[in-house]
């Protein structure tokens, strides 16, 4: 862990330092939008719960998925070599990228070698992580995201706010305004069916003119060399069926050892992500489509090997990008995905972000109540809240936490170790909250209180209540035991 700590803090980046409370301010203080966003995601979380409860072996599947991932990450070099050999045998060309820059260069080189300028692309968080769209556009390539949510945020000049529901932060009326501006729909149109039909007509022409199809990868199977892409719209299938060239971009952690392991994850993925039994399309690719086609697979590290070397954070590589932790997280639901300023937001992003750049993302592990709900819903049983707590220790140890927060924690530690002082502070705190005007306790200097309020202070402390009622409580317990 010490080597990993020194490694992550030595990373340099042009990314600005993210202060989550400041980044979340606009979203949090817009109460109607914040509550609407909260309710929308909790609806998805509720659907997930119904699906989980419908399967008696749900917890067994989670345990199996975790075990498979633990085994795979432990033997990752061997499985990567096995996958490369089998994919090559099927006719695919496998490329290796150490980082985002090399990944982007490989893709651009493939496009230039084939003299192509128009790309149709399905949803891929890896390409978002690598900044592929911007890189290709800067080099004169036309890139069209064909996932509906991704296309909406692309037209608006935004980034996805969620890894499964990229446009969850946008209301249908705002989508109507965007489509009116870019697709020529009727002003004020907000009917989802009408807007979807407009998007379908718009994208159909893009599919027909696309020269190369780019997809992400949900799972890669070591013993067959095959790829699996899961979608609900079928855009990935159409995007790679018409062009001659298919480029699949995947992080090296997406491997599973055997074809039979795949069923464990496909049963968990859609239920955890959107509360549906299975994705509408679970597409398998085993080599190029025919002898005139090409399949290129780009395997990307981009910091994953460093995470694998860490005993503390290695389990974060188990992630199958379902987004369940975001749908349940009270902080994410109320602050929105863009407040994290990271490709992957939410609890898992707050683990992965500091691993990529500890200084830039030092506030993210503190954007967490440590309620543990993310750990409870994770289909591969990543101990997310424990990892977030561990990151706090790493950041404090490297003095990346603000001095005032460090001093506040030291003061709290001193207070908790002195019972008489703690009791006195509690008394004066209760009195102060009763008599002080709210402007003194809830102001711009108290970022905690942006969208929160304190409960009404009790008349007495629990210690005082217990001392007064202890005989009564003991008698009640004794009477219950006798009965």
Which helix (H) or strand (E) segment is 84 a member of?
A: helix 76-89
Torsions phi, psi of 379, nearest 5?
Answer: -70, -20
CB 223 within 8 A of CB 259: yes
Please determine, for residue 10, whether its predicted confidence score (pLDDT) is greater than 60: no
For the stretch 370-429, pLDDT in tens is 999 999 999 999 999 999 999 999 999 999 988 888 898 899 999 999 999 999 998 998
Res 481: pLDDT:
56
Residue 5 has pLDDT above 90, yes or no: no
114 φ/ψ angles, rounded to the nearest 5 degrees:
-100, 10
User: Do 362 and 400 contact (CB within 8 A), yes or no?
Assistant: yes
Per-residue pLDDT tens for 437-482? 888 877 777 777 766 777 788 888 888 888 888 766 555 555 555 5
Residue from 78, 37, 69 nearest 320 by CA: 69
Question: Judging by beta carbons within 10 Å of its beta carbon (0-12, 13-18, 19+), is residue 447 exposed, middle or buried?
Answer: middle
Cα three-residue angle 42-281-130, rounded to 5 degrees: 75
Query: Which DSSP category does 359 fall into?
Result: T
Judge whether 352 and 344 are in contact, CB under 8 Å: yes
Backbone φ and ψ for 213, nearest 5 degrees, come out as -105, 130
What local confidence, expressed as pLDDT, does residue 13 receive?
41
Domains 30-308 and 311-403 are alike in CATH topology: no
- Ramachandran bin of 284, using left for φ above 0, alpha for ψ from -120 to 50, beta for the remaining angles: beta
Topology annotation, domain 311-403 = Fumarate Reductase Iron-sulfur Protein; Chain B, domain 2 (1.10.1060)
Per-residue pLDDT band for 434 (boundaries 50, 70, 90) equals confident
Handedness of CA 395, 398, 402, 406 (dihedral sign): positive
Burial zone of 445 (CB within 10 Å; 0-12 exposed, 13-18 middle, 19+ buried): exposed
Instruction: Give the homologous superfamily in CATH for domain 30-308.
Output: NagB/RpiA/CoA transferase-like (3.40.50.10420)
Taking the CA atoms of the chain, what radius of gyration do you get in angstroms?
25
Q: Where are the domains of the chain?
A: 30-308, 311-403, 421-481
pLDDT band at residue 8 under the 50/70/90 scheme: very low
Mean pLDDT throughout 364-369? 95
Of the chain, the percentage scoring pLDDT greater than 70 comes to 94
Kind of pairing, strands 281-285 and 226-231? Answer: antiparallel
Please write the tens of the pLDDT for every residue from 81-100. 999 999 999 999 999 999 99
Residue 43 pLDDT > 60, yes or no? yes
H/E element holding 213?
strand 212-215
Give the pair of three-digit tokens for residue 72. 């795979």
11 pLDDT exceeds 80?
no
Quick one: average pLDDT of 14-19?
Answer: 74
pLDDT for 53: 96
Model confidence at 433: pLDDT above 90: no
Q: Which residues of 69-101 are buried (b: 16+ CB within 10 A; e: fewer)?
A: bbebbeebeebbebbbebbeeebbebbebeebe
Q: Residue 454: its pLDDT value, please?
A: 77
Helix residue ranges per DSSP H, 132-244: 132-138, 148-155, 172-182, 192-209, 235-241
Cβ pair 145, 158 in contact under 8 A: no
CA distance between the termini of the chain: 54
User: What pLDDT, in 10s, does the model give residues 246-268?
Assistant: 999 999 999 999 999 999 999 99
- Any residues with CB less than 8 A from the CB of 469 and at least 6 apart, and which? none
Is residue 145 helix, strand or coil? Answer: strand
* Per-residue 3-state assignment (H helix, E strand, C coil) for 103-137: HHHHHHHHHHHCCCCEEEECCCHHHHHHCHHHHHH
pLDDT at 274 over 60: yes
Burial 156-182 (b: 16+ CB within 10 A, else e): beebbbbbbbbbbbbeeeebbbbbbee
pLDDT in tens, 214-244: 999 999 999 999 999 999 999 999 999 999 9
Given the DSSP bridges, would you call strands 219-221 and 255-256 parallel, antiparallel or unpaired?
parallel
**Crossing angle for the helix pair 403-416 and 419-435, to the nearest 10 degrees:** 120
In the chain, the percentage of residues whose pLDDT exceeds 90 is 80
8 A C-beta contact, residue 335 and residue 31:
no
User: Which residue has tokens 């149709």?
Assistant: 120
For residue 6, pLDDT over 60 is answered with no
Burial 455-478 (b: 16+ CB within 10 A, else e): eeeeeeeeeeeeeeeeeeeeeeee
Residue 317 per-residue DSSP state: G
């Amino acid at each position: 862990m010490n080597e990993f700590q020194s490694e992550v803090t030595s990373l340099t980046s042009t990314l600005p330092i993210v202060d989550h409370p400041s980044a979340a301010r606009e979203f949090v203080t817009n109460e109607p939008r914040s509550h609407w966003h909260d309710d929308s995601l909790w609806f998805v979380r509720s659907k997930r719960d119904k699906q989980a409860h419908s399967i008696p072996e749900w917890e067994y599947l989670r345990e199996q998925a975790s075990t498979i991932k633990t085994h795979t990450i432990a033997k990752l070099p061997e499985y990567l070599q096995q996958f490369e050999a089998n994919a090559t045998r099927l006719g695919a060309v496998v490329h290796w990228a150490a980082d985002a820059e090399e990944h982007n260069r490989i893709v651009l080189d493939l496009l230039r070698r084939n003299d192509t300028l128009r790309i149709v692309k399905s949803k891929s968080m890896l390409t978002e992580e690598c900044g592929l769209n911007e890189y290709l556009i800067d080099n004169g390539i036309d890139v069209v995201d064909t996932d509906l949510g991704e296309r909406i945020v692309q037209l608006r000049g935004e980034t996805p706010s969620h890894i499964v529901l990229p446009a969850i932060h946008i209301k249908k009326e705002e989508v109507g305004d965007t489509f009116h501006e870019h697709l020529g729909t009727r002003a004020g149109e907000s009917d989802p069916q009408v807007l979807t039909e407009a998007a379908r007509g718009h994208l159909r022409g893009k599919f027909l003119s696309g020269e190369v199809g780019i997809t992400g990868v949900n799972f890669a199977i070591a013993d067959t060399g095959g790829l699996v892409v899961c979608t609900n719209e079928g855009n990935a299938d159409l995007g790679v069926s018409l062009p001659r060239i298919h480029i699949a971009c995947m992080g090296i952690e997406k491997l599973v050892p055997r074809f039979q392991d795949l069923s464990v994850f496909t049963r968990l993925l859609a239920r955890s992500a959107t509360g549906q039994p299975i994705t509408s399309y679970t597409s398998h690719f085993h080599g190029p489509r025919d002898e005139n086609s090409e399949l290129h697979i780009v395997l990307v590290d981009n910091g994953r090997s460093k995470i694998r070397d860490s005993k503390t954070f290695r389990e974060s590589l188990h992630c199958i990008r379902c987004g369940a932790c975001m749908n349940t997280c009270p902080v994410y639901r109320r602050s929105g995905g863009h407040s994290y300023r990271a490709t992957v937001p939410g609890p898992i992003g707050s683990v992965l972000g500091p691993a990529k750049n500890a200084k830039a993302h030092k506030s993210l592990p503190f954007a967490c109540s440590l309620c543990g709900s993310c750990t409870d819903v994770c289909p591969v049983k990543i101990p997310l809240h424990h990892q977030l707590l561990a990151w706090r220790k790493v950041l404090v140890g490297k003095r990346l936490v603000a001095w005032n927060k460090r001093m506040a924690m030291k003061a709290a530690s001193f207070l908790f170790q002195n019972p008489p002082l703690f009791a006195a502070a509690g008394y004066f705190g209760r009195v102060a909250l009763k008599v002080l005007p709210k402007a003194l306790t809830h102001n711009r200097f108290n970022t905690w209180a942006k969208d929160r309020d304190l409960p009404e202070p009790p008349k007495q402390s629990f210690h005082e209540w217990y001392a007064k009622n202890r005989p009564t409580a003991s008698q009640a317990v004794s009477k219950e035991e006798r009965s």
